[in-house]
Structure 1
Amino acid sequence: MAITIEIDHAKTRARAAAIAGLPVVPQAVKGPIRRLKWVILLLTLSIYYVTPFLRWNRGPNAPEQAVLLDFANGRLYAFFIEIWPQDLYLVTGLLVLASTILILANALAGRLWCGFACPQTVWTDLFLLVERLIEGDRRQRLKNIGAPLTAKRAFQLVAKHVTWLLISLATGGTLIFYFTDAPDLLSGLIVGDVSANALTWIAVFAGTTYGLAGFAREQVCTFMCPWPRLQGAIWDPEAYTVNYRDYRGEQRTSAKKAAELRLRGEPAGDCVDCGQCVAVCPIGIDIREGPNFACINCGLCVDACDGVMTKLGRPRGLIDYESWTNIERGRNKEAPRNRLLRPKTIGLTAACIALAGTIGLAFATKTTATLSVQHDRDPVAVRLSDGSLRNAYTVKLLNKSASAHRYTLSVGGIDAKLSIVGNESLSPIEVAPDSSEQLRLTLTAAQAAQRDVVFIARDETGGSLSAADRFVER
């Protein structure tokens, strides 16, 4: 079964609106989905604004901010997790896991992330709420477009944009808090003692928020975001996306005309062509025209249509979260089938579990210290006057813990004398917390052939580190 996601009417509407200079002005709607979106909006904004101020005790000489992207020192902190540059493979794994979860969500319910939790959607909803509270609902805002500028209208515009800018500055400032100690930066902002670099980034992020959430809005979701472009490749007809049950809604007619037709025993569609589904859509599309790549699956049109159906005494669900295959079954008067559990979703779920388990195991077994060895390249070996052979190496001990450690170096796999430049007695090497020590050492063997050698660093606490290299002849 080949299905093409319709994009022409989305482009046509966007082009017509641009030519007319008219923005998409969504109408407020009430319903269970809208209430769920408000809950998610409050939850996500609370997490975003509060997280930088959470504290986490990591011991002495370690930052106390629970979530901190300390790029200056090459550290990423997230509560009990600490990631060094050497651990970036774990970040890669988390990104792969997030992508797999997103694909799984798409297989289950389309662009669910876009409609409920995407930052663009969340901040756009917040900006729209401000706009409605100050300027009124859709009808009043449409009247304001092109109307003469009065004192009241000027006050509304100033109040709206000042509020938008305050939200944008709070957003940009909070994002900077993730990269430095939040309370210190906040106190610096209050007293005016902050670097020009921090102010510049706050201005950049504030301007981005102001532009994208205040003006670009649906253009971001339709044309700037790459995710809708992938819908043609990964769109799943079994996914529960927002769809119009055309087999029930057509032919469209007025409520009065539909009632007369039913009294005469003639068929009549439930859709009264009220246009509420289009009026509340934050993207400005008409879902009745078929699957659309621009639809973010927010479900506001479901609330709007259900409200109309309830007033008309008709069954709810004319527009609903429904799979496209069930829409086609309905056209053929066949019973719908729920196929959320199918090979694709089971495989993606298994992949998510396997990835999560692998990443969890990698985090659990991640060490707080590493030993690395690099053989000298020029020369790789030196023949001494007594006939013995010497190889030189650079050894690096990295201590990623919050306490100092002392290591004793030894070598295995070869009968050779170990010497540490500057430490002839081979006394324990102390590595300070959150730092590294680089040593230069030599191995001298009376009779040696090509063979592997193992360098061992034994910690005074009982642990040990090892790294292998090669002892070579000239």
Structure 2
Amino acid sequence: MNKPVLPTEMEYDDNGPLYVAQKKVYPQSVSGTFRRIKWGLMAFCLGVYYLLPFVRWNRGLGAPSQAVLIDLPNSRFYFFFIELWPQEVYYFTGLLIVAALTLFLMNSMGGRIWCGYLCPQTVWTDLFYAVERLIEGDRRERMRKDAARGTLKLERFAEITLKHSIWLMIAWWTGGAWVLYFNDAPTLVKQLVTFQAPMLAYIWIGILTATTYVLAGFLREQVCVYMCPWPRIQAALTDEWALNVTYKYDRGEKRTSLKKAIELRAHGETAGDCIDCYQCVAVCPTGIDIRNGPQLDCIQCGLCIDACDTVMKKIGRETRLIGYDNDINIHRRQAGKPPVYRLVRPRTIVYSAMIAAVGAVMLYAMLTRSLLDVNVLHDRNPVAVRLSDGSVRNAFTVRLLNKRGFDRVIAIDVDGPANVTVHVVGVDSVTPDRPMIILARDTTTELRVLVTAPLEENAEKSIPVKFRVTDIGLGEVASATDHFVTP
């Protein structure tokens, strides 16, 4: 009996590679339910990404007319009827929380649905594969042409040149579409064509063109297997009830050829439905064999299901030898019990409830948010000044935010100290005892406000003071508090 070799007794090659060299994958084209779903989602995702910057939205005279715009110079984010300011960054925080919880919910129900159907790496890689098949042919033809690379002919050179040219065009437009979200799209396109756009736009287009071309054209499945952290995270988040792309070995084993299976069954012996055709391997974008069980490389795209279903139909056997399932149901079928699917369970209920709660809070905050805001900052040097008439004056910097798309008249009131008077430096008001000013639309206005009160009626060292600003036309009110300090 051979003695097992212990790790300490093994010989290591110090000159060996630190990682496994990339083995090129040649996914074969396939048709079926999941392939059609992928085509549909690809068309939808790419259509939204490329065309959304050109969608117009009327926000009034002088306001940006682009439906989705990240206006960095003016610190604004526009999404159709929604306009967010830098002070409202918490909406983005809530959106990220909802996105993460949605990802967890998808994983708990159907494994790596995001990876297989919606991930940008998957979408663009699928598109690049489609271009490659269109120009160079399907799996076997591409493998044959790559094997004969040493005898490169003019026709083959033309194919490679055309393929990479189209890849670069797709990558270039991908980078170009991204920068359109940061400026008016038609205007920026005209500037880019006439070479009058800012240099920063060309730099970002170049960076995104290069990354798209390299990631989708060359690294492909390497991104999913080695660069992306999500496969490792989702493995820790999943449970035994999650539906993953699964080879149903209770039906498939033992594997044998179609002819051999017929002979075995004729003699009353057991033979599985799997005929070792390897079509599931041929169509896999990461080149794995799903029959070997759950693997980190599997992106759960469902293409192996379509390939296997096609074979099963041809040989007259039941489809879904590979399908979305779990080990619990495999064991139940082996025990002669019907499969059970538990999409609704504590885990999915908690995720759904958290998504609903965060979404409801964000919606409530959005519907009830004030479009008039005020912030107050007390002067620190000096904190208070005693005037010749015996009164005390405090100075404040008041910042007013008008988030509406039109000018409006606001009145400033101060509550707290007795017999207080308010003066806005550099602003004339028709009512001196109650300053009224015009706030320009969609802007932040900073004012210097002097608050004066008699000392004999305000003996306390520090008195709470409340600034109220009121929209005269709409009646909208905003307030902020500080302190009135005496010497």
Assess if the C-alpha contact under 8 Å between 1:231 and 1:293 holds in 2. Answer: no
Aligned partner of 1:469: which letter?
D
- Of the three residues 366, 382, 385, the one matched with 1:382 is 385
Q: Counterpart in 1 of 2:421?
A: 417
Q: Counterpart in 2 of 1:41?
A: 42
Report the Cα distance in structure 2 between the residues aligned to 1:452 and 1:283, rounded to whole angstroms: 66
Q: Counterpart in 1 of 2:445?
A: 437
Q: Counterpart in 1 of 2:11?
A: none
Assess if the C-alpha contact under 8 Å between 2:422 and 2:435 holds in 1. Answer: no
**Normalising to structure 2: TM-score of the pair?**
0.91
Instruction: Map 1:148-187; keep pairs closer than 5 Å.
Output: 148-187=151-190
Report the Cα distance in structure 1 between the residues aligned to 2:435 and 2:160, rounded to whole angstroms: 73
Cα 1:373/1:311, change in 2 over 3 Å: same
More divergent stretch after superposition (445-454 vs 203-212) = 445-454
Instruction: Map 1:10-409; keep pairs closer than 5 Å.
Output: 19=21, 22-147=23-148, 148-409=151-412
Following TM superposition, by how much is the alpha carbon of 1:385 offset from its aligned partner in structure 2, in angstroms? 4.8
Q: In the alignment, does 2:481 pair up with 1:468?
A: yes
Aligned partner of 1:429: which letter?
I
Q: Deviations over 1:160-202 (max 9, x none)?
A: 0001011111111111111111111122233333232211111
How many corresponding residue pairs? 459
Aligned partner of 1:81: which letter?
I
Cα 1:17/1:414, change in 2 over 3 Å: closer
Report the Cα distance in structure 1 between the residues aligned to 2:357 and 2:436, rounded to whole angstroms: 42
Aligned partner of 1:422: which letter?
G
Following TM superposition, by how much is the alpha carbon of 1:384 offset from its aligned partner in structure 2, in angstroms? 4.0
C-alpha RMSD of the superposition: 1.8
**Runs of 5+ unmatched residues, structure 2:** 1-16
Report the Cα distance in structure 1 between the residues aligned to 2:29 and 2:240, rounded to whole angstroms: 30
- Higher relative contact order (Cα pairs below 8 Å, separated by 6+ residues): 1
Report the Cα distance in structure 2 between the residues aligned to 1:169 and 1:104, rounded to whole angstroms: 34
Secondary structure, counterpart of 2:338 in structure 1:
coil
Following TM superposition, by how much is the alpha carbon of 1:383 offset from its aligned partner in structure 2, in angstroms? 3.8
Aligned partner of 1:409: which letter?
I
Secondary structure, counterpart of 1:58 in structure 2:
coil
Using the aligned pairs only, state the percent identity.
49
Cα 1:390/1:326, change in 2 over 3 Å: same
Secondary structure, counterpart of 1:298 in structure 2:
coil
Report the Cα distance in structure 1 between the residues aligned to 2:210 and 2:65, rounded to whole angstroms: 30
**Runs of 5+ unmatched residues, structure 1:** 1-14
Q: Counterpart in 1 of 2:471?
A: 459
Q: Counterpart in 2 of 1:4?
A: none
Report the Cα distance in structure 1 between the residues aligned to 2:239 and 2:361, rounded to whole angstroms: 28
Cα 1:193/1:420, change in 2 over 3 Å: closer
Report the Cα distance in structure 2 between the residues aligned to 1:423 and 1:137, rounded to whole angstroms: 75
Aligned partner of 1:281: which letter?
C
Report the Cα distance in structure 2 between the residues aligned to 1:17 and 1:30, rounded to whole angstroms: 34
Q: Deviations over 1:118-177 (max 9, x none)?
A: 111111111000000101111111112241211111011001000101111111111111
Report the Cα distance in structure 2 between the residues aligned to 1:237 and 1:142, rounded to whole angstroms: 39
**Normalising to structure 1: TM-score of the pair?**
0.93
